[in-house]
Structure 1
Amino acid sequence: MGNSGEKNITVQVTTGSVIKILFLLLAGYLIFELRDLVLVILTSVVLAASIEPATKWFARYKVPRVPAVLIVYFLVVSLFVGVFSFFVPVFLNEASEFLGSLPHYIDSISAWNPVGEGSFIKDGGVIANELSGFSLRDIVVSLRDLATGAEGNFLQIMVGVFGGIFSFILIVILSFYFSVQEDGIQRFLE
C-alpha cells in the first residue's frame, strides 16, 4: 500500500475572499434585521407596479399622472371599503351567533371526551390511560386563559398594532411616490 496514487491538495484562502464572505454575512444579517423595512419597500414596489397599467390607461386620454394615480387609489380604496362593509357585518353576525351557541354545545355533547363513559376507546389500554383527562372543555378553557394572558403583554400588543399601522402608512406613501413619478419604479430599482 503505497502513497504513489495520492495527490496533495492545497487550499489558499486570500484576504479578498475572506472580506467577501464577511461582507456577505454582514449584508445577510442587515437584511434579516431590516426585514420589515425590506418587506415594506418590496410591497410598495409591487403596489406601484400594479397601479402603473391603470395610470398609463388614463395617460392615453390625456389625464395628468398625479390625478390619474389619485383616481386609481380612490377607486381601489372604494372597492376595498365596499367589499369589507358588505362582508364584515355578515361575518361578525355569524361569528357572534356561533360563539354564543358554543357553550351550549360543549355542555350538551358527551362525545367531546373520547375516553369517557360509553366511548368507543374506553378499554384502549395505553391510549385510554393517556387521554383519560382529555376533554374539549379543557382545551377551550386553556385557550381562553391564553387569550386573557395576552393582557399582560399590552405593551407588546400596542407595539405590534402601531408598527402595523406605521408599515401600512409607509407602504401607501412609498407606492404613491413610485406611482406619481414617471418611471419611478425603474429609477428606484436602478
Structure 2
Amino acid sequence: MSKIERIEKMELVEVDAARIKQVVDTYFHWKTLDTEIKTLSGTRGINFPSELSEYMACYALNLLVNKKSSEGDAVDMTDPNNPLIIEIKGSSAESLTAPNSFSPSENFDDLVFVRLEKNDDLLKIYRTGINSEKLKQIKVNSKQTVEDQQKEHRRPRFSIQKEIIDKYNLEPDAIFYIRDKKISRPK
C-alpha cells in the first residue's frame, strides 16, 4: 500500500484552539490524578497519556492528528505532494534515560519526541529526523539493534533521550507552555 493510500485511510484532525483547551484541561486532571495515585500507593504514578502528548505536539508543530489508524500518530501536510507520516513518542519520567518502546512493525517518515517537564508544565518537542529505516539501526543492547528485535516480533526499548536527542545534540523545535497554551520555537 502506498503512503498516499495509507494516509487516505486515516482520520486526520486539526488541533484548533477549542481542542487544545480540552487537551490542556484533561492534562491538569491527569496531573491531579497522578499526584493522588502516588500519594495513595507510593508508586510511580500514571504514565503521561500519549493522547495528550500527541495532541500537544501536533498543535505546536502544525501537524494533523491521526485518530483512526495505527499507521503513525500524525501527518505533516506542509508539502501536499509529499506528506510525512509522523510517529510521536513521549516521556514524563524524571530519569532522562527512561526507555521508550516501539512496535515490532514501524513505518514512518519522522520521529517526534516529546519530553514533559511536569513541574514547569511544559513540553519540549523534538523533530528528530529519524525515520523507520534509520530507527532499525539503533542499538538496543550490546548485541541487538531495533531491527533485530523487530524480526523477533519483540517491542524494542531504548532511551530516545540518550540514543537520539543527546547523541546528536538536538535542541527542541518547539516548547509548548501548557498552562498558557503558548508555543515557543527556540530554533
TM norm. shorter chain > 0.5: no
Structure (1/2) with the larger helix percentage: 1
TM-score after normalising by structure 2: 0.22
Q: Higher relative CO (CA 8 A, sep ≥ 6), structure 1 or 2? A: 1
TM-score after normalising by structure 1: 0.21
Q: Which protein is bigger by CA-based radius of gyration?
A: 1
Structure (1/2) with the larger strand percentage: 2
